[in-house]
């Protein structure tokens, strides 16, 4: 476990895989009539609640400050509430696998933001890896969803807003990380803040009756809560170990998991070009991982 906790590649695979499970869970839930805002609430409340329990049992406490409160609520809105609301609204129209492809655009947008703001810039091999992954994403996006069911442009645009929001969150969490604060504490605070925002939004826009729909999918709710809490524990550790650009690579892994789950378990069908693009995306992830290792090795040698 110690090796995984310190390995950027290991954290990338685990975090991306758990994120990918959100896609089929979300499709099942929304197909059963659960509103997108309510399902986004399930993720944040489940993750924040479980991780808070773990913290309390281990004797840890959240020590609030003005900086932390700002961090919690900005991260909640930009990284969780808004992109999850968009994603679960789009999944019924685009499919779980196709919506997952939108995650793959996050590294490119994160890189653009990172360069513009001077946060962190990958080496040339890292840029090549991102470019290869993006090429695969373009191939997949060109198929416009499931075979024989081209997606409407409006929902494609809604899906495209997901990586933009995720990229903004990747940068913000790095530049405003509260000094001396661990990843679990940040995960707990941010998700509980997101849950509060989504709960208030649901009450105002849809009323309390919207929560009753969760009773139709109790096992899916449980599975989503468990996977979300595990994912975000690794998510914030990956943020610290790999930085914002490397963190954004979880979208490639999540997209692959979403395509696989959608095809095998949900009856979605995709063209050969879609699968070829997914394979190229995987190559891009491996190239970027190698680039990250090179950067880490160089930094260690300079420090020595």
Tell me: the pLDDT tens digits for 182-193? 878 888 999 999
Angle between helices 36-57 and 183-205 (to 10 degrees): 150
Rounded CA separation 134/126 (Å):
12
- In the chain, % of residues over pLDDT 90: 31
* pLDDT in the model for residue 245: 66
- The overall average pLDDT reported for the chain is 84
CA distances for 37 relative to 74, 102, 129, angstroms: 18, 19, 34
Confidence (pTM)? 0.81
In the predicted model, what is the mean pLDDT of residues 226-246?
A: 79
* pLDDT in the model for residue 303: 59
Q: Which residue has the higher pLDDT, 256 or 75?
A: 75
From the list 20, 171, 46, the residue with the least C-alpha distance to 100 is 20
- In the chain, % of residues over pLDDT 70: 90
CB 98 within 8 Å of CB 153 = no
CB 131 within 8 Å of CB 297 = no
In the predicted model, what is the mean pLDDT of residues 242-268?
A: 80
- The 10s digit of each residue's pLDDT in 46-98 is 888 888 988 888 888 888 899 999 999 999 999 999 999 999 999 888 888 88
């Amino acid at each position: 476990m110690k090796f995984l906790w310190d390995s950027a590649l290991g954290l990338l695979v685990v975090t991306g895989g758990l994120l990918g499970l959100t896609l089929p869970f979300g499709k099942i839930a929304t197909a059963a009539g659960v509103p997108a805002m309510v399902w986004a609430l399930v993720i944040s409340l489940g993750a924040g609640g479980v991780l808070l329990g773990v913290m309390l049992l281990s004797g840890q406490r959240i020590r609030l400050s003005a900086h932390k409160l700002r961090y919690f609520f900005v991260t909640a809105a930009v990284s969780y509430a808004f992109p999850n609301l968009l994603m679960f609204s789009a999944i019924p129209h685009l499919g779980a696998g196709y919506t997952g492809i939108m995650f793959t655009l996050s590294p490119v947008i994160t890189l653009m933001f990172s360069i513009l703001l001077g946060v962190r810039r990958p080496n040339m091999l890292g840029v090549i890896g991102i470019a290869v992954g993006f090429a695969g994403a373009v191939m997949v996006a060109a198929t416009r969803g499931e075979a024989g069911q081209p997606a409407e442009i409006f929902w494609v645009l809604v899906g495209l807003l997901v990586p933009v929001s995720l990229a903004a969150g990747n940068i913000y969490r790095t530049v405003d990380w509260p000094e001396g604060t661990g990843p679990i504490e940040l995960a707990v605070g941010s998700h509980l803040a997101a849950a509060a925002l989504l709960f208030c939004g649901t009450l105002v826009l849809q009323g309390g009756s919207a929560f009753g729909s969760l009773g139709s999918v109790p096992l899916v709710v449980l599975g989503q809560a468990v996977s979300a809490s595990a994912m975000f524990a690794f998510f914030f550790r990956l943020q610290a170990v790999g930085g914002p650009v490397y963190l954004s690579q979880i979208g490639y892994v999540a997209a692959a998991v979403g395509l696989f789950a959608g095809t095998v378990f949900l009856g979605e069908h995709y063209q050969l070009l879609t699968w070829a693009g997914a394979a190229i995306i995987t190559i891009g992830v491996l190239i970027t991982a190698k680039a990250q290792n090179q950067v880490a090795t160089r930094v260690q040698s300079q420090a020595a």
